[in-house]
Amino acid sequence: MARPKIALIGAGQIGGTLAHLAAIKELGDVVLFDIAEGTPQGKALDIAESGPAEGFDGSFKGTNDYADIAGADVCIVTAGVPRKPGMSRDDLLGINLKVMKSVGEGIATHAPDAFVICITNPLDAMVWALREFSGLPHEKVVGMAGVLDSARFRHFLSLEFGVSMRDVNAFVLGGHGDTMVPLARYSTVGGIPLPDLVEMGWSTQEKLDAIIQRTRDGGAEIVGLLKTGSAFYAPATSAIEMAEAYLKDQKRVLPCAAYVKGALGLDGLYVGVPTVIGARGIEKVIDIKLNKDEQAMFDKSVDAVKGLVEACKGIDSSLA
Ligand code: LMR
């Protein structure tokens, strides 16, 4: 049986990390695309040369030609510009929207059957634009956000409780921005919801509130430390988890920026929600029930995403 083909659009820090993870996990043959000449070729060769020591096989191609992504099963899009200290993700909207246009057209022409995972910021608006520019089915185009935000939440909770990250589950909903909604009620340590853990005296509401805020600021915390760009290990790992769920039909329940029409009272918007990912792409959006406070936070986040989508339409008239 032919190995799956994984096209990585953008060969920067995240693209290179994605390629290396896909190689180590032997998810398939990797094509690393970038407009910068030499970068994808150099990274692809470097990764191939790490194969003998790590013990993986596969084909690794670096390219500047969209034709080389032909027939890809999965495309992961990181093309565009990351933010620097002092910037918000939304500041990248104008510049990255132009990039999404050429990427969307490239995917539509050469890999129209792919499952497309977008990582470029501002995430929810960029995945919407990428879907519009590519014309692919909504269930095959998704944004990587909730998996990353939830992973950060899980990490901080594991530090607070002094337990393995494997025993911490957490959900972050809403847009991948300052208004994201870490859901304490649906997050658990060893299956016990966070509010119950507070009641049991294992932590305090103040400590959990600080963790929730740190989760919201998680991307900015890394940007502030790196100074020259944004996070890449955790974003790449999160996207690979989604790609693997699709390629192996794992039916994973993962929070992603998915197209929501009907669930959570939404009428057609890309925003972070719990989904089921399997061989058909986004196979289900879970219509999670929110209490009054959670709903108010989610509504605020939805409004922020809607504002960014409108801004995209204002910049590119073909989207209006
Ligand atoms: C992240 O959350 O790490 C990414 O969205 C990058 C960023 O700019 O924060």
Residue having the nearest C-alpha atom to atom 4 of ligand 1: 219
What atom in ligand 1 is closest to the CA of residue 89?
8
pLDDT of residue 19: 98
What atom in ligand 1 is closest to the CA of residue 176?
5
Two tokens, residue 105: 């057209």
Closest listed residue to residue 56, CA positions, set 32, 27, 13, 76: 27
Quickly state the pLDDT bin for 1 (edges 50, 70, 90): confident
Specify the residue for token string 């299956």. 191
Residue ranges of the annotated binding site for NAD(+) are 10-15, 34, 96, 119-121
Closest listed residue to residue 255, CA positions, set 174, 139, 157, 194: 174
Is residue 320 classed as helix, strand or coil in its secondary structure? coil
Residue ranges of the annotated binding site for substrate are 83, 89, 121, 152
pLDDT of residue 7: 98
Q: For residues 119 and 241, what is the distance between their CA atoms, to the nearest angstrom?
A: 13
Cα(99) to centroid(ligand 1), Å = 17
The yes-or-no answer on residue 176 being catalytic is yes
Q: Is 222 in the pocket of ligand 1 (CB under 6 A)?
A: yes
Contact between 251 and 276 (Cβ < 8 Å) = yes
pLDDT of residue 320: 85
Residue 249 pLDDT greater than 90, yes or no: yes
pLDDT of residue 158: 98
Per cent of the chain over pLDDT 70 is 100
Averaged confidence pLDDT in the chain: 97
**Domain residue extents for the chain:** 5-144, 146-311
In our burial notation (b when 16+ CB lie closer than 10 A, e otherwise), range 112-134 reads eebbbbbbbbbbbbbbbbbbbbb
Quickly state the pLDDT bin for 63 (edges 50, 70, 90): very high
The torsion of the CA quartet 245, 251, 253, 254, rounded to 10 degrees, works out to 20
**Dihedral sign, CA of 181, 187, 193, 196?**
negative
End-to-end CA distance of the chain: 43
Fold of 5-144: Rossmann fold (3.40.50)
Closest listed residue to residue 163, CA positions, set 187, 184, 189: 189
Q: Is 231 in the pocket of ligand 1 (CB under 6 A)?
A: yes
Residue having the nearest C-alpha atom to atom 5 of ligand 1: 219
Contact between 15 and 31 (Cβ < 8 Å) = no
Q: Is 152 in the pocket of ligand 1 (CB under 6 A)?
A: no
CB atoms within 10 A of CB 193: 16
Render pLDDT for 22-31 as a digit per residue (tens, 0 to 9).
999 999 999 9
Cα(244) to centroid(ligand 1), Å = 22
Q: For residues 95 and 91, what is the distance between their CA atoms, to the nearest angstrom?
A: 9
pLDDT of residue 89: 97
Give the residues across from 284 on adjacent strands: 276
Mutate to test the pocket of ligand 1, among 91, 121, 228, 232 (most ligand atoms within 8 A of CB): 121
Most distant CA pair in the chain, distance: 58
Cα(199) to centroid(ligand 1), Å = 33
Fold of 146-311: L-2-Hydroxyisocaproate Dehydrogenase; Chain A, domain 2 (3.90.110)
Q: For residues 24 and 193, what is the distance between their CA atoms, to the nearest angstrom?
A: 34
DSSP H or E stretch at residue 258? strand 252-261
Instruction: Please tell me if the domain spanning 5-144 has the same topology as the one spanning 146-311.
Output: no
Cα(57) to centroid(ligand 1), Å = 31
Render pLDDT for 203-232 as a digit per residue (tens, 0 to 9).
999 999 999 999 999 999 999 999 999 999
Mean pLDDT score, 170-194: 96
Residue 248 pLDDT greater than 90, yes or no: yes
Question: Which is the catalytic residue, given 20, 110, 155, 176?
Answer: 176
Render pLDDT for 90-146 as a digit per residue (tens, 0 to 9).
999 999 999 999 999 999 999 999 999 999 999 999 999 999 999 999 999 999 999
β-strands 60-63, 74-77: how paired?
A: unpaired
Residue 13 pLDDT greater than 90, yes or no: yes
Residue 34 pLDDT greater than 90, yes or no: yes
Contact between 230 and 222 (Cβ < 8 Å) = yes
Contact between 24 and 43 (Cβ < 8 Å) = no
ipTM of the complex model: 0.99
pLDDT of residue 227: 96
Residue having the nearest C-alpha atom to atom 7 of ligand 1: 219
Cα(247) to centroid(ligand 1), Å = 25
Two tokens, residue 98: 């132009």
